[in-house]
């Protein structure tokens, strides 16, 4: 099988899991897409696209959504709905510095 096809399928699976979890967490927090947008600084249109697996997200976007929903970033990547409910780890305050370090590292090697 072509590596590009496998990579695209993996990306789509990640987008699907992320989008489903974003919607579940947003609804659990009783927030509309507009409310989450105001809390996170992300447009409600972009949030809608993420929830429908139409767009991927950057580390900055993950950090903003994590903070707005008060969950750890890894929570968006949990595939099992039951496990998602059990693992609603609060957003760690140090995550922003970790994300910045990763982005600095990436930009250094690009």
**Does the pLDDT of residue 87 top 90, yes or no?**
no
In terms of pLDDT, which residue wins out, 96 or 27? 27
- The pLDDT assigned to 19 comes to 95
User: How much is the average pLDDT of 66-74?
Assistant: 92
Classify residue 56 by burial, with Cβ atoms within 10 Å: 0-12, 13-18, 19+: middle
Contact 102, 58 (CB under 8 A): no
User: For the whole model, what pTM was predicted?
Assistant: 0.72
- The pLDDT assigned to 41 comes to 96
At 1-57, the pLDDT tens digits run 566 666 888 888 889 999 999 999 999 999 999 999 999 999 999 999 999 999 999
Give the fold, CATH level 3, of 3-109: 434 Repressor (Amino-terminal Domain) (1.10.260)
Give the dihedral of Cα atoms 70, 94, 54, 30; nearest 10 deg.
10
Q: Where are the domains of the chain?
A: 3-109
In terms of pLDDT, which residue wins out, 5 or 74? 74
CA distance to 11, 21, 68, 93, 97, per residue, from 53 (Å): 10, 11, 20, 27, 27
- The pLDDT assigned to 13 comes to 87
């Amino acid at each position: 099988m072509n590596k590009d096809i496998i990579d695209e399928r993996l990306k789509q699976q990640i987008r699907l899991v992320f989008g489903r979890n974003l919607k579940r967490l947003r609804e659990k927090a009783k927030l509309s897409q507009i409310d989450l947008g105001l809390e996170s600084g992300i447009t409600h249109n972009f949030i809608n696209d993420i929830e429908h697996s139409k767009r991927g997200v950057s580390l900055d976007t993950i950090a903003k959504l994590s903070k707005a929903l008060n969950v750890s970033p890894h929570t968006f990547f949990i595939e099992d709905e039951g496990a998602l409910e059990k693992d609603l780890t609060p957003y760690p305050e140090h995550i922003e510095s970790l994300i910045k370090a990763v982005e600095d590292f990436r930009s250094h090697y690009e």
